[in-house]
Structures are given as structure tokens and as C-alpha cells.
Amino acid sequence: MKQYGFYIDSSKCTGCKTCQLSCKDNKDLDIGVNFRRVYEYAGGDWLKEGEIYRQSVYSYYLSIACNHCDQPACTKVCPSGAMHKRDDGFVVVDEKVCIGCKYCSMACPYGAPQYNEEKGHMIKCDGCYERVAQGMQPVCVGSCPLRALEFGPIAELRDKYGTNADVAPLPSSLTTKPNIVIKQNRNARPTDDQSGHLANPKEV
């Protein structure tokens, strides 16, 4: 079985959200509906060193869409089968079948399924599978001014960049086996970190 994936370079990403917006434009998404979301994880404190205080403030960005997981939490619960994993590895909503029960979005720990109020059903990143079938890249990847996103067969990406898919605020990759490779920011915190917080909850 084929499987594509994303490489996300969190050390380069500036949080500019061009990826999010180019996707929004391409897929004609409403306000509040984002196939790709840029999470800002931030934290830090005052540290006392002898007689002086220093700060350890940090923040970094993670651009996350759907990870087209090997063990998708979303498809497991979907009652209609609308949320399904295709032969090319993409996890896609069949919009003609979905009943809009929102169960998939309750289960996905990456916030990928996005409910469309107007249509009355779920929509989500489909990996631009139609473009990919024509040999093109997903829209977000090409739009990134920092070249922080890459797309391709996940095996190739893992050969090139390693296998890490864990960093806060993402959940442990053991749960859904996401098809992403993450290059960590120098401030990166581990998956189970509690020291930071989501700095842009209204943007994701």
C-alpha cells in the first residue's frame, strides 16, 4: 500500500500561516474552518541564578493538517464509513455519505476534522489527493515561503529526515501512527510536556 506524508520543519517555521491561507483559498473554506492549522506552543519562566534573574521564554510553531494516520482514530469511530482510508493512504471524508455526527472530530487528537455548518457534514484535509495523482504537490507545501513543508512518500521522507513525529503539543505518535516527520525547533518540548501552553487557541 502506498502512503504519503508531510515533513514539517519546526526549526524553520515562522508561524506566518501562508500554508493555512493558501489551503483556505484553494479549498474555499469559511472562517473558523482550517484544514491546516499553525499551533503556537509557548512557555517559560524567570530563573534565579545566584543574585540575578533570567528569563527562559520560548515559543515555536507547528503547522499541522491531517496526518493521514496508519491507525486513524477518526475512521475507527465513524458510524457511516464516510471517514475512510483510501488505497493511496489518504484519509478522506466521503461528503455524500457523512451524516455530520461529529464523532470523528471528537476522537481525532490532532484537531483535523473540521465541521462545516453550512453543508451539515465534516470536511478535512484530503492531502490534495487529486493534485497528487496528477504529479503535483499539495497547495500548502508549495506556498510556504520558508520551505518548511515537504510532501512525498512517507518512506522517502523518513529516509531523508528520520522518524520523529513527537513534540508538544502533539499527542504520542504511538496512538494513531501519524504519517508525518517533524524536525524539532531548538526550543522543542517533549510530547507529554506541561510547561507551555497553546498561545493562539482562537487561530486553530
Partner 1 sequence: MAWHEWPLMMFTVLAQTSVGSFLVLGGILLSGQLSLNEETRLHKAMFFLWALMGLGFMASTAHLGSPLRAVNALNQLGSSWLSNEIFFGSLFFAAGGFYWLLSILNKGSVQARKGLLAAAMLMGIVFMYAMIKVYLIDTVPTWNNMFTPLGFILTMLLSGLLFAQLLLAGAQSKLTGLYKILPIAGAAAAVISLVVTVLQMIDLSSINSAVTAASGIIDNMQQLQLIRGALMLAALALWFKPLITKNKPTTLLLVPAFVLIFVSEFIARGIFYGLHMTIGM
Binding residues vs ligand SF4 (CB under 6 A): 13-19, 38, 61, 63, 66-69, 72-74, 78-80, 82-83, 91, 93, 98-104, 108, 110, 112-113, 121-122, 124, 144, 146, 148-149, 176, 178
Task: Pull the grid cell for residue 156.
Answer: 522517502
Nearer to partner 1, 73 or 132 (CB): 73
Indicate the helix (H) or strand (E) that contains 9.
strand 4-9
What's the rounded Cα separation, in Å, for the pair 187 and 184? 8
User: Using CB distances below 5 to 8 A depending on partner kind, what does residue 19 bind out of partner 1, ligand SF4, none?
Assistant: ligand SF4
> What CA–CA distance (Å, rounded) separates 55 from 47?
6
Candidate list 24, 121, 124, 183; residue touching partner 1; CB under 8 A: 121
Question: Minimum CB separation from partner 1 for residue 119, in Å?
Answer: 7
Positive or negative, the CA dihedral 176, 113, 35, 187 is negative
Q: From the list 6, 41, 60, 151, which residue makes contact with partner 1 (rule: CB under 8 A)?
A: 41
> Could you tell me the smallest distance in angstroms from the CB atom of residue 63 to ligand SF4?
4
Cα–Cα dist 172/166, whole Å: 6
Give the cell for residue 33.
Answer: 474552518
- 169 preceded by cis ω (within 30°)? yes
Q: Per this entry, what is the length of the chain? A: 204
Q: Fill in the DSSP letter of residue 173.
A: T
**Pick from 32, 44, 81, 162: which binds partner 1 (CB under 8 A)?**
81
Q: Which does 177 bind (CB under 5 to 8 A by kind): ligand SF4, partner 1, none?
A: none
The stretch near partner 1 (CB under 8 A) out of 19-27, 77-85, 137-145, 148-156 is 77-85
- Locate the DSSP E strands across 28-172: 37-43, 46-49, 52-55, 58-64, 83-85, 91-93, 114-116, 121-123, 149-153
| Least spacing, CB of residue 163 vs partner 1, in Å | 19
What residue ranges bind partner 1 (CB under 8 A)? 39, 41, 64, 73, 76-82, 97-103, 106-111, 115-117, 119-122, 168-172, 175-176, 189, 191-194, 196-198, 201, 204
